[in-house]
Structure 1
Amino acid sequence: MKWHHVQENWTAFYEAILEKWPEADESELDEVDGDQRAFIAYLADATGQETSEIREELREWLAGEIPSDVIMDPTHDNHSISLSAKYVNEGEDVYDDDARFGDDDANED
């Protein structure tokens, strides 16, 4: 993902940010308001890490996929479904109903 995805959907990323950096505070994130430099400075202060370390962590974090709950549009959803194929066992269909998720080994009646 790119920083503009984060900036444009700033509050939607709070959960993902807090998961990655539990030292962050939601009210402080409100003040950062998607500004990347302010975010890096804030995280360096909140975590006690060097700015260069935070930049590297942020670069790694941005290398991941956009959390599915952040962007809700058919194009992104279909892209996410396609990417999820690597987690589907051989012989299963990516588009199958997941109502029985986790019970693949159960005997059919």
Structure 2
Amino acid sequence: MKWSHVEQNWTAFYEAITDRWPDLTEDDLEEIDGDRRAFIKAVCDATGDEAEDVAEELREWLAGELPSDVVMDPTHDDHSIRNSAKYVGDGEDEYDEDENFGDDEEEDGAA
């Protein structure tokens, strides 16, 4: 994951951030508003850790998987749906209900 993704979906990351850095409050996060430098400074202030150490922790955290609660965020869902268009055949709409993509039962011989 990249910081730009965190920044763009800042509020969706609140829970994941406070899980990793429990010394940060929601007020801290609102003030940071996705700014990476402000984030590192806030963690340093809250924990007493050095900026270099916090930056390394952040790099390690960003190397991990995208938190599932963020994946389920409506903003991320809309982005994923738009990106799914490349896998949808001609004449089909990625926003259509799944049932409009064909009937799985037809392959089994049922209609």
Check whether TM > 0.5: yes
- Aligned counterparts of 1:46 and 1:56: Cα–Cα separation in 2: 16
Rg: which structure is higher? 2
Q: Please identify runs of 4+ aligned residues in structure 1 that moved more than 2 A.
A: 71-76
Q: Could you tell me which amino acid in structure 1 is paired with residue 26 of structure 2?
A: E
Q: Which residue of structure 1 aligns with residue 86 of structure 2?
A: none
- Aligned counterparts of 2:21 and 2:69: Cα–Cα separation in 1: 18
Q: Which residue of structure 2 aligns with residue 65 of structure 1?
A: 65
Gaps of 5+ in 1: 77-109
Q: Could you tell me which amino acid in structure 1 is paired with residue 71 of structure 2?
A: I
Cα deviations across residues 11-34 of structure 1 (Å, max 9, x unaligned)? 110100000011011111100000
User: SS where residue 61 of structure 1 aligns?
Assistant: helix
CA RMSD of aligned residues (A): 1.6
More helix by percentage: 2
- Aligned counterparts of 1:62 and 1:11: Cα–Cα separation in 2: 16
Q: Which residue of structure 2 aligns with residue 45 of structure 1?
A: 45
Q: Which residue of structure 1 aligns with residue 94 of structure 2?
A: none
Q: Could you tell me which amino acid in structure 1 is paired with residue 39 of structure 2?
A: F
Count of residue correspondences: 76
- Aligned counterparts of 2:71 and 2:20: Cα–Cα separation in 1: 18
Cα deviations across residues 27-74 of structure 1 (Å, max 9, x unaligned)? 111000000001001101101000000000000000011112213338
- Equivalent pairs: percent with the same residue? 62
Q: Could you tell me which amino acid in structure 2 is paired with residue 51 of structure 1?
A: A
**TM-score calculated relative to the size of structure 1:** 0.65
